Structure 1
């Protein structure tokens, strides 16, 4: 078993788009209408949007490979790229997505640890993320990894307003 990580570049845009559609759809399609899913996927993962995110120096994408197969990805944001104003001492994990057939292999923990290492290297005191209030698996995982709920915010899936819990972890520097 070999797990590796690779920073995404603009040259990876198509692969990033494909894995974004696949993992997001696998995770949320059973809980949302097809219309709302399609609206969100088109807005969040269109070529222009991903190109803009990849070009932002305060955002970083990483693919995780399991035995040379792309199994998932991580997106982190700092500074003004954060989806909420959490300040310069914080790093946001905006996305950790693992393909269904690669779940339960420790890849989510691997990516989470990558984000924590990045935060520590950059002297960030906090790491945070938003997770859908009904995503019990993710909530359980983050709690197990030492995150606590510190707030909530609205998230729109198409025209459906949903609630994301904001979960945070203070880092020991």
Structure 2
């Protein structure tokens, strides 16, 4: 089931976010640099703050046991490349053991329906250039590469593809 997130989901969103981020990006052992970043980003308080903002929307995928994924949509988020609206898919995370079962596709479909309701002509996202599985997922779903940007953590940066999806 896909539904809008609410404040009582904040700790579950933090836990899913932390699990997916560590599983996706930390493959060779955890060091303090990445642990500090992840533990700062994926907190219940941070998700409570996001959920209280009117320009932020989070939809969750919920199974019988709980939340297994979410999509975070941001209005007023300028794209790092020209020719994109200010509507961003900030995050689409599905627990690793639920990937491949359709939860990501259902979340994306619901997210794109929300995006279409905003009247924006398109939506954009950034995906780690090394995350081929995610990039291929978005390209299969109709996104196109429109540029490059860098994701910054402290003094380190990582190449990201900017993908765009036409809503009209």
State the TM bucket, normalised to the shorter chain: 0.7 to 0.9
1:90 Cα deviation (Å)? 4.2
Q: Which of 154, 159, 164 does residue 163 from structure 1 map onto?
A: 159
* Unaligned runs of at least 5 residues, structure 1: none
Query: How far has the Cα of 1:88 moved from its partner?
Result: 9.4
Mapped partners of 2:32, 2:138: distance in 1: 29
1:134 offset after TM fit, Å?
0.2
Would you say the 8 A contact 1:76–1:115 is kept in 2? yes
Is contact 2:129–2:159 with CA below 8 Å preserved after alignment? yes
Q: Which runs of 5+ in 2 are unaligned?
A: none
TM-score normalised by L of structure 2: 0.87
The 2-side partners of 1:46 and 1:91 are apart by 24
Counterparts of 2:20 and 2:36 in 1: how far apart (Å)?
A: 16
Offset of residue 89 of structure 1:
4.6
- Per-residue CA shift, 1:35-77, capped at 9, x if unaligned? 2321221232234432321211110112102345321111011
Q: TM-score, normalised by structure 1?
A: 0.85
State the Cα distance separating 1:152 from its structure 2 match.
1.7
**How many equivalent residue pairs?**
167
**Partner of residue 125, structure 1:** 121
Work out whether residues 155 and 161 of structure 1, in 8 Å CA contact, stay in contact via their aligned partners in 2. Answer: yes
Question: Is the Cα contact below 8 Å between 1:74 and 1:97 reproduced in 2?
Answer: yes
- CA change 1:32–1:164 in 2 (3 A) is farther
Give per-residue Cα distances to partners, 1:96-147, cap 9 Å, x unaligned: 1111111101111111111110111221210110000000000111111111
